[in-house]
Chains A and B, each alone.
Chain A
């Protein structure tokens, strides 16, 4: 088993409370399913769209991330899968895809010293 990070982009944060609730229930069932199949290492968290960006040697702080809403990372999860191919298969069940968002599947890099 290898570890992967799923980065979710394009969460719709302007939905009505009812829609939100529906979407959240979908996320929940998806996570339940992943948990039962043993793919869930850490559910991670959803993230607010706005925050601060700290940059460079000057440690300059700006409001951010200021990307297009669809490009902002809206949350993350740690996944266990056999290989990248399986991880990609798993990501296809993510409810964010139904709403036009995306999942970025990134293998955890193993650093050897």
Chain B
């Protein structure tokens, strides 16, 4: 709703758009308290926002400047109401969401701020919800969002998704932001399963929105969507309702969502066209190998190792190298895995990453070096970034103690 209204009022009047939505919700609460919730609450809210927007536009016709290409039609009673009617149709709403999505990925904004802004404006997350999604404080988000909005408002016009060159230039940033949004749900620090699932769902919704646009439906976007589906399918196994993490080996695979997996595989097929292979393609492919293995032992580790080899060529990072080493350990045993970890080029960048120590601990545990394993897990616990990671690592530590 904010997306449509932002298009209506212009991106520099973002605050006004938010006020109108706020008003519509307040009205809803008042009216619904008396008359009960209507049959179609979202349509009711849309209608309320529409009326409120009409009021504002009539009252402030001369006081503000709106989106330049629209102001002529919003300025006349001949066209004002039909214009607004048109903007609230499904198709127009989708267009506007896409435009806001692209606008949020403004090059002057740091990636994390882009994601926060998307969550706040497009997904309707309040400041407290954004804070809990990013496991940061209310005040931190309260400072960052207005700063980001100011930069957005400075651009005066919503991003024009009709200009092919601009679209193509901004697309990778949008894909990246959606990827981060999804990862915040999948790997992020929030201990609440509901929060994680919602972040993943929102990322999927927006990725599909991008796919509906002819220039947005690139192989990379299909791959990104595949990756999200395959990940979301495994989320119920990865994090349990209590918010505890399960390692891949311990996951109850019957909790994986078969329907999401098959849809993910479908998107992966659609991604397999065009000359370029992106990191999204490979990550989705890795995820698909896990997803189709009904038992851990059935996993095609050869395939996974070779996919990680490819990922190291196009998108090398110490974390990718670490994951590759873990896959090699699965295939060839813990000793080989430890050798690979030893040979990671810029391993010093992993020193503060708790799952680096945890991987060492896991492999030492597997080859029976319980003391060494415990020491690594203790290091990892010291580095844990949140309570959930800490609980998970403590559980691994006690596994060492039991074994030793």
Contacts and interface: CB of A to CB of B under 8 A. Distances in A.
Interface in A30-45: 31-32, 35, 40, 42-45
A34 to B, nearest CB: 11
A84 to B, nearest CB: 23
Nearest to A77: B78
Contact of A46 (B77, B83, B86): B77
B74 to A, nearest CB: 10
A75 B76 CA distance: 11
Given A35-B72, A40-B72, A27 B85 contact: no
A13 interface: no
A92 B73 CA distance: 21
Given A21-B85, A28-B83, A75 B78 contact: yes
Chain A: number of interface residues, binned into ranges: 10 to 19
B72 A45 contact: no
Given A21-B85, A28-B83, A28-B86, A46 B78 contact: yes
B75 A24 contact: no
B82 A43 contact: no
Chain B: number of interface residues, binned into ranges: 10 to 19
Interface in B49-103: 72-73, 75-79, 81-83, 85-86
B87 to A, nearest CB: 12
B77 A28 contact: no
B73 A43 contact: yes
Contacts of B79: 27-28, 31, 43
Nearest to A22: B82
A25 interface: yes
Contacts of A35: 72-73
Nearest to A28: B82
Nearest to A35: B72
A59 to B, nearest CB: 28
A75 B82 CA distance: 16
Interface string A10-26: 00000000000100110
B73 to A, nearest CB: 7
A111 to B, nearest CB: 26
B82 A24 contact: yes
B85 A43 contact: no
Contacts of B77: 45-46
B72 A43 contact: yes
A45 B80 CA distance: 10
Query: Which of A31, A32, A44, A75 has most B Cβ within 10 Å?
Result: A31
A32 B85 CA distance: 15
A31 B78 contact: yes
Contacts of B76: 31, 42-45
A42 B83 CA distance: 16
A42 B75 CA distance: 9
A48 to B, nearest CB: 10
Nearest to B76: A43
B33 to A, nearest CB: 28
Contacts of A40: 72
A32 B82 CA distance: 12
Contacts of B83: 28
Contact of B82 (A27, A44, A45): A27
A46 B81 CA distance: 12
Query: Which of B77, B78, B81 has most A Cβ within 10 Å?
Result: B78
B72 A28 contact: no
Nearest to B79: A28
A31 B80 CA distance: 12
B85 A31 contact: no
A98 to B, nearest CB: 16
Interface string A68-98: 0000000101000000000000000000000
24 contacts: A21-B82, A21-B85, A24-B81, A24-B82, A25-B82, A25-B86, A27-B79, A27-B82, A28-B73, A28-B82, A28-B83, A31-B78, A31-B79, A32-B73, A35-B72, A40-B72, A43-B76, A43-B78, A44-B78, A45-B76, A45-B77, A45-B78, A46-B78, A77-B78
Given A24-B82, A43-B72, A45-B78, 6 more contacts: A27-B78, A32-B73, A43-B75, A43-B76, A46-B77, A77-B78
- Give the 8 A-B CB pairs with smallest separation, nearest first: A43-B76, A28-B82, A24-B82, A45-B77, A28-B79, A43-B78, A46-B77, A25-B82
